[in-house]
Structure 1
Amino acid sequence: MTQAPPGPLVEIEGLSIRFDGLDGPKTVVRNLDLVIRPGECVALVGESGSGKSVTARSLLNLAGDGARVDARRFLIEGEDALAFSGARWRALRGAFAGLVMQDALTSLDPLRTIGQEVSEVALRHGLVRSSGRDALVSATLASVGVPEPEVRARQYAHQLSGGLRQRALIAAAIAGRPRLIIADEPTTALDATVQVQVIGVLKELVRQGAGLLLVSHDLSVVAGIADRVLVMRDGEVADAGPTADVLARPRHPYTRELIAAVPSADSRGRLLSSGRIVPDDSGAIRITRDPLPARRAIGDGALLEATGLTKRYRRNVAGPGGREAFTALEDVSLVVRAGEVVGLVGESGSGKSTCAKILLGLLEPDAGAVMLLGQPWSNVPERRRRSLRSRLQYIPQDPLSSFDPRYRVAEVIGENLSGIEPHVRRRRILGLLERVGLDGAFADRSPRLLSGGQRQRVAIARALAADPVLIVCDEPVSALDVCIQAQVVDLIAELQSRLGTALLFISHDLGLVHHLADRVIVLKDGRVVEEGAAERVFQSPAHDYTRALIAAAPRSLVGGAAARAVA
């Protein structure tokens, strides 16, 4: 007698989630249907605020304080979840369902080691004895690509890179071997090779019978793992179905907009947010885009020149002494010319951020030197750098953490407008806001009340206020959903074209670097392993590591348009 297939892990019909606020109830999810079966991955995609995360968290009764969750049918493994007690929900968390959140630094307890975080669920639910804790931790960390797992288990979250923190968070979620994994943007902070490892782990768990609910704004990740996809907009499902069908033949205009916003080699020199999908005669989709403004010629002389940069640290390790020397950068040299866009890529821990800090004059190298506009920039007192400081600016990954929390937007931008009359200063601020696509009303708002895309525009306006010759962009759009990312990338590219400002663009998104960069520098283990024109590096990589990076990147991000990849 054939055994009946197992029933759904989650079965929801007509889900509605609303919050009671000062202005009355606000519904953030409306009439959503969701089924997750063992051995399948269902993806939720859509822009920020579309209801993806609150939908995912409702499966653990973690939708948020004041959330009212209603549904015609809400079953967890066949049981009515709307009738669950608080104790029943707590018993499910970690054992039935593991949650992977986006911001690992705030999700991991700063006072507990990584080993304590990973083993918590297994110990609390009696899935492992204390004697087996270390073996479980090491095996789970290794399974998500954490190097030296025994060492990392003894470290704290702040001692790990962003990519390692995210992998540790995933390990903590899967250590209890849950039947359902809820992953909310689990690969946002990861480079291509580690992303492949993590997605591979999630795929294997699905192959073994776990269900996976993946929340992501990365359509390439979704295309590579999800069986079915729900496209959400304004709390409702705009498009749904098997992943290949939804991405190859998108029915809703918003789904088409998402697909057209993915950067790639084919989008070079074009405006991402102008993408329009046009079906061709074969039924596949083709993307057309408007051109960027004509660029100024790249200069011959070096704006910034770094020679032989080396930086070493000491880090915690297991064993006698507990400390060892660690080389973050070794003999790194690079040049950025006037009007040039240079992409700096490499996996987490490759030295990208350390290099950026040295180039910005925020960290002194142990060896080597940096010259800016022909003058010494590194290894000199800050007073000697002060006259040049405004010519080199920075756009961070998390702009809010770089803003003074006491400042309004006008004061944030005004930091780079000292020494001018108040009325002239105000006029310049309003002009800069207009240049980055924000109206004057934003000048008096608190950055805390702005969206991620709006904050990033304020960070760009602050950088431009100083009339820089070079801007260092450190993962400036990695935390943004794909449509907002396209708008911000277009803004950076348009301003670069019109103003001729040079960019050092640091990113783990190879498709984005291919879209923007004139030249690419590849870092591995603190060394430059390859450098050259972007087209040459991406089309004919010379180093094995570069080839591995490009091979690991999702197909739609390297060497072809999203249209071809999902068709």
Structure 2
Amino acid sequence: MKDGTYGRRGEVLVDIENLRIGFPGKNDNKDLVDGIDLCIRAGECVALVGESGSGKSLTARSILNLAGKGARMSARRYEIGGRNALRFTLQEWRDVRGRFAGLVMQDALVSLDPLRQIGQEVGETVAVHGLLRGERAVRGRVLDALAQAGIPDPQARSRQYAHQLSGGLRQRALIAAAIAAHPRLIIADEPTTALDATVQKQVIEVLMRRVREDGVGLLLISHDLSVVSDIADCVLVMRGGRVVDDGSTREVLSHPRHDYTRALIAAVPSAESRGYRLASARIETGAADDQTVARILREPLPPRAALGGEVILRAEGLGKRYWQQRGGGEFQALDEVSFEIRAGEVLGLVGESGSGKSTCAKIVLGLLEPDAGGVSLLGKPWSGIPERCRRALRPKLQYIPQDPLSSFDPRYTVRDIILENLPRVLGWAELDRRVRGLLAQVGLDERLIDRLPATLSGGQRQRVAIARALAAEPALIVCDEPVSALDVSIQAQVIDLIGELQARMGTALLFISHDIGLVRHVADRVLVLQQGRVVEQGEAGQVLTHPRHSYTRTLLDAVPGAWRQVA
């Protein structure tokens, strides 16, 4: 233990009974958190899981008194560190933040101040609470926290800014900021959502080291049941502000009592779910040989056309170099990358951060020119030509981004966003009819047509992005982590929608994802990138079940989930 600030293993850090949180005048005056009981002990990990809007983050933020402006909070018991938090003054709540409980958010790039160096960010809590005297002592604590968070060369990294770090390093910088004041509790809200499997594993190991070695309590909010199964001691499943299932992680995930929990587990994509609708999955139990047996039942997706048709896109010998400011010299982002995508085919592109996936996608989209090699689309040159020469083919290649909100013009309505991809030679009545038809295709109510992106849910925004892509009747769609920020149930709906539309229209997909289970579910073939080179490619089932290359095996070994869903 350090400075005597970490909790004694087993000590109750948070003890909440019948917590209610609401916002007067909103949500029909109904509580968004409705009667939650939560107990977190030192040296254990408690996980909150459930779909968006279930009350997970609101519950967690209340421990820091950050439920939001105008929040009304009540509880039969609300103790933090053995004290009645309902009577805390503003100063006592400030002491809780950072000193008693550290917070690790989902989006490190948004959470970190772009104008401050990482060292300043990490040292802020120590300085604000006056835990150490003198700049030298604070600096030492900062470097120690960075090292504990697994950041190499802490001295150099502490002088960098957030945009100069990779996604994994930024997330570890957030962890360093959260542990710098040696808190007794860490609240981690979706800390690994957008990270690839190997970086995700590193971040989880950093968090769990604090739990096991120092007896810190960990409250984990996550929609990734595989991550939860690996590290949580107990799980609370939330829906509509209530806990519908709870208990030890093994018990809840192996023998779920509530239908909602069963639906979440069954909706996790895998090789077994390939060809079936994820959102239709349900667990059915029965008796066999005097034992209770559970199995997943799913409805099939529409049949797809036979593969092996026209080559939609061909990439040959792609190479791309970037000049590095730090340290000088060139960085080889892509090196002799070649592949092709045929009509109706789904090619999965996997690899850890920095492997070249994004660079490859930008070259395919014609947003970046390769230094070597070239790309052809529908048999015509696509790279190495002026944009005016690409314009006629542009509609045939579309894009579904990871974060639609940042890719949409915030001033555009849903109608405007979709109209961007429709030919303006059509009359207004026909354009309006097509927009409404596309909304129907992606399962959205046409009453959303005049809404702004910021007023839509994450799942609705992703459906609008799909509708925009389909409006151009493309031959190929590049899907860049299209569901990584969505919870399990919404992810299942979006993936089912992509599968249905792809089967109906025969559109080819370049599907980029760090979720190996998802790639197994959707891809026909897989391309594995490591440091800009293709190390393995082939039929998805073969590559992801019997990998030949050691790097592919490393990726698969890093996938969390000692628990596996019912076969």
Instruction: Verify: 1:563 aligned to 2:543, yes or no.
Output: no
Change (3 A) 1:236 1:493: same
Q: Specify the alignment match of 2:285 in structure 1.
A: 279
Q: Distance in 2 between matches of 1:470 and 1:101?
A: 34
* Within-5 A mapping of 1:20-419: 20-21=24-25, 25-127=29-131, 130-133=135-138, 136-208=141-213, 209-281=215-287, 282-317=291-326, 323-418=328-423, 419=425
Change (3 A) 1:370 1:537: same
Q: Say which of 7, 17, 20 aligns to 2:21.
A: 17
Q: Which amino acid aligns with 1:347?
A: E
SS state at 1:283 partner: strand
Q: Distance in 2 between matches of 1:116 and 1:481?
A: 33
Instruction: Verify: 1:457 aligned to 2:463, yes or no.
Output: yes
* Within-5 A mapping of 1:424-439: 424-439=430-445
Moved more, 127-136 or 339-348: 127-136
SS state at 1:237 partner: strand
Give CA deviations for 1:47-90 in whole Å, capped at 9, x if unaligned. Answer: 00000001000001111111111111111111111111111111
Q: Which amino acid aligns with 2:373?
A: G
Instruction: Verify: 1:498 aligned to 2:501, yes or no.
Output: no
Instruction: Verify: 1:546 aligned to 2:521, yes or no.
Output: no
Deviation at 1:515, TM superposition (A): 0.6
Deviation at 1:131, TM superposition (A): 2.4
Gaps of 5+ in 2: 1-7
Change (3 A) 1:532 1:99: same
Change (3 A) 1:308 1:146: farther
Q: Specify the alignment match of 1:482 in structure 2.
A: 488
Deviation at 1:366, TM superposition (A): 1.9
Q: Which amino acid aligns with 2:334?
A: L
Deviation at 1:132, TM superposition (A): 4.9
Q: Distance in 1 between matches of 2:27 and 2:44?
A: 40
Instruction: Confirm or deny: 8 A CA contact 2:230 2:562 kept in the other structure.
Output: no
Q: Which amino acid aligns with 1:490?
A: D
Q: Specify the alignment match of 2:5 in structure 1.
A: none
Gaps of 5+ in 1: none
Instruction: Confirm or deny: 8 A CA contact 1:155 1:316 kept in the other structure.
Output: no
SS state at 2:47 partner: strand
Instruction: Confirm or deny: 8 A CA contact 1:277 1:285 kept in the other structure.
Output: yes
Moved more, 423-432 or 123-132: 123-132
Q: Which amino acid aligns with 1:289?
A: R
Deviation at 1:172, TM superposition (A): 1.6
Instruction: Confirm or deny: 8 A CA contact 1:390 1:467 kept in the other structure.
Output: yes
Instruction: Confirm or deny: 8 A CA contact 1:144 1:197 kept in the other structure.
Output: no
Q: Specify the alignment match of 2:4 in structure 1.
A: none
Deviation at 1:124, TM superposition (A): 3.3
Instruction: Confirm or deny: 8 A CA contact 2:349 2:526 kept in the other structure.
Output: yes
- Which 4+ residue blocks in structure 1 deviate beyond 6 angstroms? none
Change (3 A) 1:315 1:178: farther
SS state at 1:310 partner: strand
TM score, norm. by length of structure 1: 0.94
Q: Distance in 1 between matches of 2:385 and 2:159?
A: 37
Instruction: Confirm or deny: 8 A CA contact 1:7 1:78 kept in the other structure.
Output: no
Q: Say which of 516, 521, 530 aligns to 1:510.
A: 516
Change (3 A) 1:232 1:451: same
Deviation at 1:405, TM superposition (A): 1.4
User: Equivalent pairs: percent with the same residue?
Assistant: 65
Instruction: Confirm or deny: 8 A CA contact 2:404 2:465 kept in the other structure.
Output: yes
Change (3 A) 1:143 1:343: farther
Change (3 A) 1:348 1:96: same
SS state at 1:529 partner: strand
Deviation at 1:135, TM superposition (A): 5.2
Q: Distance in 2 between matches of 1:276 and 1:433?
A: 27
Change (3 A) 1:224 1:556: closer
Q: Which amino acid aligns with 1:84?
A: F
Deviation at 1:159, TM superposition (A): 2.7
Change (3 A) 1:386 1:147: farther
Deviation at 1:523, TM superposition (A): 1.1
